[in-house]
Each structure stands twice: as C-alpha cells, then as structure tokens.
Amino acid sequence: MSNKLRVLVHGTGFAGQGHTEAFRYAGAEVVGIVGRTESVVKEVAEASAIPYAGTDWQQALDHCQPDIVSIATPGGAHFEPIALAIAQGCHVFCDKPLTESGETSQRLYEMAVDKGVKTAFAASFRYMPHVIHAKKLVAEGMIGEPLEVECISHFNLERDIPYGWSHRKEDGGGRLNNNFTHKLSIVTSVVGEKILSIMGEVRDDLVRAPIVEGVHNFKTRRDFIPKDINAPSLKWGESNVEWTYTVLAQLQSEYATRPVSVLFKHGGLNPRFHEDHIVFYGSKGAIYIKGHYGSGPLYLYGDNQEWCELVLPDEIAVNIPEVEGDTERNWRYLIRELVNDISGKRVAPYQTFREGSQYQQLIDIIRENNHLVDVSHL
C-alpha cells in the first residue's frame, strides 16, 4: 500500500488533466477520474495512467476511497459532487468559481467547517511570480503607504466561440467568475485580505453564440468556431452573463492608515490599445506589473522618480514550480500547499472555501447593478 495521499478527480478536460499532473507533482497519487461521457473518461484515464475511470461520482467515491477530491468541472456542476465528498470526509480542491451562487457556496463552506475537512479555492493567480514579488515589496515599504490599485484588461475574445458553460450564469459562466476572481485574489494577496466595500456595473456585450457539437476541452474551444457564421442551418444560444465589468472596492491593509481604493476594469470582448496591467500606487512610489494577471515584467517607481524594471529575487524564483503555462504553474503551487497542509507540514495561509464563498457573494452583489444613481432629471 502506498503512503501517498489518494486523489479522485472530477472532470476530464483541460482543468481535470492539469489538476492530475499538479497533484502528482505535489507527491499525491491520482487513483481515479470521473467524467460525463464513458468513452472520453476512459480515454483520458488511459492516456494519463489513472487506474479508475467512471461516470458515477458516488460510485467512484465508494470505490476509490480518496483522501482528496479535485473538482475540475464548470462552476454550475460543483455543488452536489463537493457536498457528497465532504459528507465522506474528503478534503477538497476546487477551481473557481466555487458554485454558481453565493447561497450555495456558503452552504458548502459551512459543510466543510462542520465536517472538519480542509479546502482550497483555486483563484490561484496570486501565485504568479511577479505578484509574489509585489507582495514582498509592499510589505517592505517600498511604495510607502498603499493608496490605490488599478487592474485593467481587455481580452478581445472571439465573439463566435461556441456556446457553452461560459455563456450561462447557471453553469458558472461570466467574466466575474472567470476573471475577476483571479484579479481580486491578486490584489488582496498584495494589499490585504479584508474587503471592506464593493460596487460594480456589468454588461452583456455578446448576446448570443453559435451552438456547435464536439467541444470538450475548454482550451481548444476556438478550434470549433464555425467557418460560415452566417449559415442558415446554424443554431444559436443566448448569453445571460456579463462580458464586461467595472468594479470599485475598498480594502483594509496593515500597511495603510486608510482604506485602499481598487479599480477593476475588464472588457472581455474589447480590443486592447495599451498593455493590460496591474498597478499598486503608494504614498512614496508605485509598482507596475505588465499583463492582465501580472505575468510581468515588474517595474518600481521610487525615489529617483523613474520606472525601473526589477529582476525576480532568487528566493521567489526557487519556489516556483517549473511547468509550461501560468494556469498549470499556479495550480501546482496551490495544490502543493494543500497537500503539505494535509500532511501536517507548516504552510502559509492559502485561500479556502471561506474565500470561495465570499467571492461568490460579492459577485452576486455586483451583478445586481443597483449602485448607479439616476441623474437624468438634473
């Protein structure tokens, strides 16, 4: 018998396969995988050398007896399998969003607390190397007292990407669930985890998308864009989620005497002109990180009143998993933390279902769009 922690994965697409490799990297044993389609799950299991493959989650839990379950399906399919796993005493690693609503996310968080299992919520781009560097610089007082943060991104996504879970609120779709979660996690990791207030405005600029069969892996969905988008036989599905959002927040920071103001501006379908970026402004300087998720490079504006590019410190670089792809690397970082924690090793605090529940409740508030004041009469 192996002494490794046993992991059961739910989901056979890009995330499921990525989670599998991440848990193996962390020293755990992936003993099973579950998917919707028998032929697909068997194919993925064989390709990834996973001993058990099935389509019935409860049956897989009973057969595999995992220590940890890894949830790698769209957010709308999370609640039931997580609830079943918690009831069986499994620790849970879950990709964002935790569920499709704040209410169901809160229920899962309370279940996990009551059962005493460990959870990890994978809004994991806080583990980008330059974000970790920014956190260190802010803690060292390199920008003085944090004042405000600016997160700007424009993705120019193809409007004709096939209709799927990302277009549907009930399935965990929308840019708030799949972009804002990472941005908020990045900012709170650097400035402070306490969110004091929030407001926002969202907009669906897409309206509809073509329905195409055969899309399985989220990462390859662009390959299925119809060649003739005006074909009379083409069917369409209606979007009911936001593709653009503007969010304002205030965070409490141990490095600041007043709340830190944060702007999150994202246009999922809008073309970018300047680079996407994240900027932390302080009373004595600023930190600029290029890229929508802080991919780098990082620049510091200091006493010399010039922007200077900084090299990533060795102490940070040596702790970053070596794998191609930001998403895959961040999964590995967080999963390593979870596995070490379950194994009794000391780890830094990481995001759990507490944050997953909180983020989903915040998204519910933002989507209400009720913070604008009617001034048309003035």
Q: What is the average per-residue pLDDT within 302-318?
A: 96
Nearest Cα to 355, choosing from 177, 70, 109? Answer: 109
Q: Quick one: pLDDT at residue 223?
A: 87
Whole-angstrom distance, CA of residue 71 vs CA of residue 94: 5
Radius of gyration of the chain (CA): 21
Q: Quick one: pLDDT at residue 217?
A: 67
Min mean pLDDT across 57-61, 166-170, 187-191, 211-215 is at 211-215
Q: How confident is the model at residue 221 (pLDDT cuts 50, 70, 90)?
A: confident
Q: Is 89 helix (H, G, I), strand (E, B) or coil?
A: coil
Q: Which domains does the chain have, with CATH numbers?
A: 6-123+329-352 (3.40.50.720), 126-319 (3.30.360.10)
Q: What is the pTM of this model?
A: 0.95
Report whether pLDDT(1) > 60: no
Instruction: Decide if 334 contacts 127 (C-beta within 8 A).
Output: yes
Q: Quick one: pLDDT at residue 171?
A: 96
Neighbours of 127 (CB within 10 A): 25
Residue type, 313: P
Q: Quick one: pLDDT at residue 176?
A: 98
Q: What is the average per-residue pLDDT within 223-252?
A: 95
Q: How confident is the model at residue 216 (pLDDT cuts 50, 70, 90)?
A: low
Q: And the tokens for 261? A: 């103001």
For 341, the enclosing helix (H) or strand (E) is helix 326-342
Q: How confident is the model at residue 214 (pLDDT cuts 50, 70, 90)?
A: confident
Whole-angstrom distance, CA of residue 197 vs CA of residue 258: 13
Altogether, the residues listed in the chain come to a count of: 378
Neighbours of 230 (CB within 10 A): 6
Instruction: Decide if 8 contacts 66 (C-beta within 8 A).
Output: yes
Min mean pLDDT across 39-43, 135-139, 213-217 is at 213-217
Q: Quick one: pLDDT at residue 272?
A: 95
* The dihedral formed by the CA atoms of 95, 19, 126 and 194, expressed in degrees to the nearest 10: 40
DSSP character at residue 109: H
Count of helix runs (H) and strand runs (E) in the chain:
11, 16
Instruction: Decide if 122 contacts 333 (C-beta within 8 A).
Output: no
Q: Is 81 helix (H, G, I), strand (E, B) or coil?
A: helix
